[in-house]
Amino acid sequence: MKIAIVGTGYVGLVSGACFAEVGIDVTCVDIDKRKIDNLINGTIPIYEPGLDDLVSRNVKEGRLHFTTDLKECLDEVEVVFSAVGTPPDEDGSADLKYVLDVARTFGRNINKYTILVTKSTVPVGTSAKIKAEINRELAERGMSVPFEVASNPEFLKEGAAIKDFMSPDRVVIGIESDRARKVMERLYRPFLLNNFRVIFMDIASAEMTKYAANSMLATRISFMNDIANLCELVGADVNMVRKGIGTDVRIGNKFLYAGCGYGGSCFPKDVKALIHTGKEHGYKMRIIEAVEEVNELQKSIVFRKLKDALGDLKGRRIGMWGLAFKPETDDMREAPALVVIEKLLEAGATVVAYDPVAVPEARRRLGDRIEYALDMYDTAVDADAIALMTEWKQFRVPSWNVLHKVMRGNIIVDGRNIYDPAELAEEGFEYHCIGK
């Protein structure tokens, strides 16, 4: 079976490499020539554990190809996945420019039955627009080539993307015919060994499922952050509350960690887009609006705690542990660290940061507005306080002795609740965390 995947970002590249790994012939397409040249030479544009090996092995074995030109491979493939970006417009709606560009190229060049499957997260109703765009192109060519559109939203998590793709909880596919269903079933058959479920549904429901899933997860986080803030006021401990409620099987124990807010390329964007879709249909998404509001406030909580602990921040030196929006990625999109850094700089503090992989990304975004340390202890030299923003494993058991020796102050603000308050008190640190 031969397929093409347009867009070599997280979703496109991971999907391409994983489909190739199970024996499907995959051509990955991107308009960015430099990206494609780099991929051909084995340079992966993103940090994702295991992806380098997967890509190079499948390229070597001849199942994974890269090109800048979708039309080159269209006569050969049965399915084209569209995994191009949908950056948010200023009003929070998804910009469909790239998605519709793919539809036009598809319509302009197909010569036989082909399915265009949207993997990008697009608002409900987009597949109808894609279909109209393809039909328009075909009409211009004066041709009637059979084609179909389908929706196959992606649920992979950065940092665990390959595992998520190879053994997903479920695959959701929106289709309009039995013919498309059969093709999609065959495509995902190699993964059935792992005993997961393919859920077929109509296209609008598949599109909606993605937003509902991410908004539900974001809701759990904002809910717990709200509870955490109240815990602090009433003298409760959010970690105990989490355990207390997470053992109820109806609630479940995942995604209940209070912290310094969610970031990344998905939750913030999808929450905004769902609010916008509601508005477009004259419906106010009250819960999701509150989820966003709580998260906006939570992203500066580490700053507020530093300010409460240190008073005037002018001239203070703050060591920052972690910059990425979560561990195992160099992604800083919507990262809480960015909000805290801006506020600290505005207040006249100096920020010295370290992240195991995100420093190049931080340099690109922030240049020399902050200092970059060589390792976690280097950030602490002469620091008045340490702010932990990302819970990388290597930050979990620091040498408190070394910190005492090199730091000027003794304040630790833990934005991810990874340390034990009793241990820190014993070690002589002033410890602030979230929700207790």
Residue 350's DSSP bridge partners are 317
Q: Work out how close the CB of 154 gets to ligand UDX at its nearest, in angstroms, rounded to a whole number.
A: 6
Establish whether 74 is an annotated binding residue: no
The yes or no reply on residue 221 touching ligand UDX (CB under 6 A) is: yes
* Smallest separation (angstroms) from ligand UDX to the CB of 384: 26
119 is in an annotated binding site: no
223 in contact with ligand UDX (CB under 6 A): no
Instruction: Indicate the pairing of strand 170-174 with strand 385-388.
Output: unpaired
The DSSP line for 295-329 is HHHHTTHHHHHHHHHHS--TT-EEEEE--SSSTT-
The whole-angstrom separation of Cα 422 and Cα 401 is 16
Choices 56-64, 244-252, 264-272, 425-433; region in contact with ligand UDX by CB under 6 A: 264-272
List strands edge to edge, sheet with 25-29.
64-67, 25-29, 2-6, 79-82, 114-118, 147-151, 170-174, 197-201
Each residue 196-215 as x (binds ligand UDX by CB under 6 A) or -, in order, gives ------------------x-
Residues ≥6 apart with Cβ < 8 Å to 74: 4, 80, 106, 109, 110, 111, 114
Q: Is 158 annotated as a binding residue?
A: yes
From the list 6, 36, 156, 434, which residue makes contact with ligand UDX (rule: CB under 6 A)? 156
Q: Indicate the residue type of 318.
A: I
Interaction of residue 263 with ligand UDX, rule CB under 6 A? yes
129 is in an annotated binding site: no
Task: Report the residue number, 100 or 337, with the smaller CB distance to ligand UDX.
Answer: 337
Applying CB under 6 A, the site for ligand UDX has a residue count of 19
Asked if 147 touches ligand UDX (CB under 6 A), the answer is: no
Contact residues for 412 (Cβ-Cβ < 8 A; gap 6+): 385, 386, 388, 419, 424, 429, 430, 431, 432
Q: Which residues contact 293 (CB under 8 A, 6 or more apart)?
A: none
Q: Which of 255, 307, 357, 421 contacts ligand UDX by CB under 6 A?
A: 255
Tell me if 165 contacts ligand UDX by CB under 6 A.
Answer: no
Q: Which is nearer to ligand UDX, 174 or 409 (CB)?
A: 174
Shortest reach from residue 326's CB to ligand UDX, in Å: 4
The closest alpha carbon to 254, from 246, 263, 262, 244, belongs to: 246
Name every residue whose Cβ is closer than 8 Å to that of residue 75 and which is 6 or more positions away in sequence: 111, 112
Residue nearer to ligand UDX on the CB measure, 259 or 319:
259
Question: Among 33-41, 252-260, 367-375, 421-429, which window interacts with ligand UDX (CB under 6 A)?
Answer: 252-260
- Active site (annotated) includes residue 266: yes
Give how far the C-alpha of residue 129 lies from the chain's centroid of Cα atoms, to the nearest Å.
Answer: 26
One of 21, 25, 137, 158 touching ligand UDX (CB under 6 A): 158
CA pair distance 222, 293, nearest whole angstrom = 9
Query: 3-class DSSP state for residue 388?
Result: strand
Residue 157 contacts ligand UDX per CB under 6 A: yes
Instruction: Indicate whether 272 belongs to the interface with ligand UDX (CB under 6 A).
Output: no
Q: How far is the CB of 112 from ligand UDX (least distance, A)?
A: 32
Written as six digits, the tokens of 171 are 């695959």
Using the rule CB under 6 A, which residue among 14, 36, 266, 313 binds ligand UDX? 266
User: Does residue 268 bind ligand UDX (CB under 6 A)?
Assistant: no
Catalytic residue among 28, 231, 260, 266: 266
CA-to-CA separations, 195 to 15, 187, 206, in angstroms, rounded: 19, 15, 21
Active site residues: 266
Which residues here bind ligand UDX, judged by CB under 6 A? Answer: 154-158, 214, 217, 221, 255-257, 259, 262-264, 266-267, 325-326
Where is the binding site for substrate, in residues?
Answer: 155-158, 210, 255-259, 263, 326
Where is the binding site for NAD(+), in residues?
Answer: 30, 35, 86, 121, 158, 269, 333
